Structure 1
Amino acid sequence: MQLIAKLVEEEEKNCKVDEQQLNDCYIQAQHWAHRGVMLFDAIASTVQLCQNKLFPEYQKVKDELPVPVQEKLQKRHQGIEIIGRMLERIVEPARELYETETPNRELPRVSKPELIDILSNETNPESARQAIAKKFKEIGDRRYKCIAEIRELAERRQQRWLNFVEKKVLPIVDGIESGQRYSQPLVAQLKNENPNWSTKLDDWFKIYHNLHLNLLHALEQMEVYPMQVKTKTPIDYTHHEPFDVQDDESLPNEYIKEVIRQGYEYLSQKSKVKSQKSKEFLVLRTAQVVVVKN
């Protein structure tokens, strides 16, 4: 009975360690399930706002412009329509990330009656030792499998979330920023050519600002934020990706001359802990920059 009590005590210690691992994985799986819900809600509400308000308002302004002006803006119209379709197409894929349930596993353990039963059926001490070792290994393997399943679920949810934001949401934001950048000189030219339509052209151009603002708000709801990348500062290779190198005698080597593509970061799971004094952000996508090489 002393041997059984000792084995039960050891099993209890091992089980507590495994239960802590399981609980950590379970919390992580729940965390990414919650972020999946946040992502879908943010995407769905943003797309609804665009369909019900922003695009109808834009269409109204567009139709009020003179036909010759509309024709000169045709490629920009097509770009905005593409952005609208891209937004519509991510709603259903985002719905797949909407998971509210995480299976709760109860770890198996070797009970005192099971040990008594094993020992009572074995008269040879070595056979009894082997039978007990076999039982502990069997239970240990089952516990490991339970923990591994929840850990894999958490990792799968995390990777799907990160991939979705990086591959499906950020390209839309990039498209809006690119459209705004390329449209600005054309709108300025059209305002000079058609001063009577200057206000309407400004109203038309606001579609980029409004779309960009709403997408950034959606990202903020997902706890994703643009990096604060400053030019004329040293490059940080953990956050910045060299897109090109250029000479510039006014700046030292390895300094950022220009930001080509915005980088993004997301709030870490650790920052959810109330005792955490400062927020921690992890890189979602590095910023592409032009680096000085003299």
Structure 2
Amino acid sequence: MSDQTPPTNDQTPPTSQEEALRCGFVAIVGRPNVGKSTLMNRILGQKLSITSRRPQTTRHQVLGVKTEDHRQTVYIDTPGMHIMHKDRNRAINQFMNQAATQALRDVSAVIFIVDRTKWTAEDDVVLKRLSSVTAPVILVVNKVDWIEDKSTLLPWLEELGTRRDFAAILPISARHGTQVDQLEDEVERFLPESEHFFPEDQITNRSSRFIASELVREKVMRQLGDELPYQMTVEIEEFRTEPNIIHISALMLVERDGQKKILIGEKGDRIKQIGREARLDMEKMFDSKVMLKLWVKVKRGWSDDQRALKSLGYNLD
């Protein structure tokens, strides 16, 4: 006869142990215009970082928080690392490079994005800066949907693998979401056991004022020529919430009188279009009706003035 007591009907079987909480920071880095912001927006399932086809759209670190069950991943979208040429050796360019480099500190993993089979000197800049990083680096080859001859991809991935001991190499399309789930699974492997840093429903550390200023700047980046967007910034002078409506006043700063005329447009047509498109995005983001007012002001030399940059919110967090 067995000494073991048989279970009675009121006993419940033991439940499986819950998975430990995991949380960590993951930096998304790369040269300008490789799809860093598009990737973070895709992962979050909503627009947080502004995007355009123009390089250096992102100027600040932007944290995107994704919480799923036991894991919370805090992605850091960064400005594109770029070579400091004489024609863009302004204080704002130095700030962007510093912001991207700073994001590599104390992270659990790094996502290094490159553009298809294009490798440039600025990719070498990023790779060199990663040489001192001890966190695992996942290499992401983005925009593979644009590669016409898919037979060139595998040899390229193998060649990239010789440049560094990457934790993984993944071809993806951030725009279409191809293999982004697999990338998130790779990232999870490196998240340490930790309490979550942010509430479950929080998606960023950035304020509504910051997001509003970025949405205005995005519309300028998308509409205007090569020079003006890089010598323009946005300052929110008023952000006032009332029942069912948010009042926002935004000041667009440029460096020359001619730029002001371009930004306003003939009979104010351009600034009206910028305001209309920005307001629609704000209403979607803030889930509220928005009353948006825009002004343009000339502030000469702001992009090469350290004190002016700090007063405009260009601070290393």
TM-score by length of 2: 0.26
| Larger helix percent | 1
| Structure with higher RCO (Cα < 8 A, 6+ apart) | 1
TM-score by length of 1: 0.27
